[in-house]
Amino acid sequence: MDQSSGDMAQRNLLWTILIINFSFFLIEIISGLISVSMGLVADSLDMLADSMVYGLSLIAVGGTALLKKRIAKIAGYLQLTLACMGFLEVLRRFWSVEELPNPKTMIIVSFFALVANIICLYLLQKSKNKEEAHMKASMIFTANDVIINFGVIAAGLLVILLNTNKPDLIVGTIVFLLVIRGAIKMLKLGKT
């Protein structure tokens, strides 16, 4: 496969994953706000950040190694910023009186997001360019998303069992901590 057809295959892959992630950002932010679920809102913001990363990765396709490292660094800073903003919202909700999130919505939406993320991770792992910094960054985000989806599903089950919003807020916190960890990994990729 020559360079230009390899670049085209990589662009098509990134466009596919970007569309899936941005679609689930919209689905999760709307359902998260309606169902009052911080877990879904946190995952939606993570999906938005992932979409930005995939968009930035599209810019890196065919570029120099230095450009790809810079893209990974920018993506890391974007993730870090969104995670900090989300973490502040979790703290606000933790100390204020909030209504109980809708656990059924949390579970159903997170299940479909989980399926979408597993598909994205599979597509990324099949990529011939998976060792490049911008593609490694994409795989870090997507692997985190799979873990996050399981967390939101578990939080939904715990909200049902315990009749409190605390599991949702705890998962929201964990999501943002995972996002921060992923951002730090990407910042390291941007340095190497």
On the question of pLDDT at 127 being above 60, the answer is yes
Instruction: Give the pLDDT band of residue 192 (cuts 50, 70, 90).
Output: low
**Integer Cα distance of 50 and 24 in angstroms:** 11
On the question of pLDDT at 150 being above 80, the answer is yes
Within 13 Å of residue 70, how many CA atoms lie on the same side as its CB? 9
On the question of pLDDT at 175 being above 80, the answer is yes
pLDDT on residue 158: 96
Q: Which domains does the chain have, with CATH numbers?
A: 3-191 (1.20.1510)
pLDDT on residue 163: 93
Q: Give the pLDDT mean for 6-16.
A: 85
CA 45 to chain centre: 7
Are 82 and 114 in contact by the 8 Å Cβ rule? The answer is no
pLDDT on residue 109: 97
- Percentage of the residues of the chain whose pLDDT score is greater than 70: 94
Instruction: Give the pLDDT band of residue 1 (cuts 50, 70, 90).
Output: low
On the question of pLDDT at 55 being above 90, the answer is no
pLDDT on residue 79: 80
Instruction: Give the pLDDT band of residue 95 (cuts 50, 70, 90).
Output: confident
Question: How far from each other are the two terminal CA atoms of the chain, in whole angstroms?
Answer: 27
pLDDT on residue 34: 93
Q: Give the pLDDT mean for 87-95.
A: 83
User: What is the per-residue burial (b if ≥16 Cβ within 10 Å, else e) of 73-87?
Assistant: bbbbebbbebbeebb
pLDDT on residue 37: 92
Instruction: Give the pLDDT band of residue 131 (cuts 50, 70, 90).
Output: confident
What's the chain's average pLDDT? 85
Are 176 and 80 in contact by the 8 Å Cβ rule? The answer is no
